Amino acid sequence: MTLLSVNLNKIALLRNSRGGQLPDPMQAGRVALASGCGGITLHPRPDLRHARPADALAARTLCQGAELNLEGNPYSQAGAQYPGFLELVEACMPDQATLVPDGDSQLTSDHGWDLGTERPRLQPMIARLRGLGIRVSLFMDVDSPDIERAADVGADRIEIYTGPYAHTADAAALDACARTAERAARVGLGVNAGHDLDQHNLGALLRWVPEICEVSIGHALINEALYDGLAVTVGRYLDIIRAAR
């Protein structure tokens, strides 16, 4: 069954907006895991606006028997309170590192890798992480000409950027996701998916693209949880995943 990884960045954002420790991302993580999700995702950025390095370290302890996925730009360097993304991954030893090409000040991830340009710089970083036993996933655009290159640079998986699909949820967008997943599978890559997925569009995607191993969902899930509760919301996503299979 497709693994549901709950992204806790929005919980951390709420905490940071007030200062102090509440709401506690790790308490939210405990509720999500107790409700049956298979993993936790965090995307610590150098500006510390939501998840912080300390959250990533705490999540490693939290995710005993569950997957920890850390997202970030491998080019992000150390700052005053940020050790650098690769260094943070090495300190946390997550099960998966999802590498995204967003800039440090970018609001959210909105495009995938250009591997024709970035391969020489990216390939040794991927080898460094895989040498530690960390699965590496690359954030990729639907129908990117570089899908097969993700295998060439040493990645284990791609994560399909599903923002365009989520904004239309039509047959053409589903077909594009399916083509992308099929191309990845043919060269031995696993397929994840994420961005703007919610209870309304997830089921169709999973039925149309059976190759999807994992979905990472945060913004919509936390929004829905404000009204229905976190445990209930996680349960509804799991029901959608089971029904799709």
Catalytic residues: 43, 71, 195
- Tell me which residue of 84, 19, 7 sits closest to 46, measured CA to CA: 84
From CA 40, how far away is CA 193, in angstroms rounded? 14
From CA 216, how far away is CA 221, in angstroms rounded? 10
Please name the amino acid found at residue 121.
Answer: R
Contact (Cβ atoms closer than 8 angstroms) between residue 227 and residue 187: no
Exposure b/e, 105-138, CB count within 10 A at least 16 = b:
eeeebeebbbbeebbeebeebbebbeeeebbbbb
Torsion of CA 206, 1, 59, 202, to 10 degrees: 20
∠ CA 238-231-3, nearest 5°, is 30
From CA 59, how far away is CA 54, in angstroms rounded? 9
From CA 109, how far away is CA 166, in angstroms rounded? 14
DSSP notation for 185-226 = HHTT-EEEEESS--TTTHHHHHHH-TTEEEEEE-HHHHHHHH
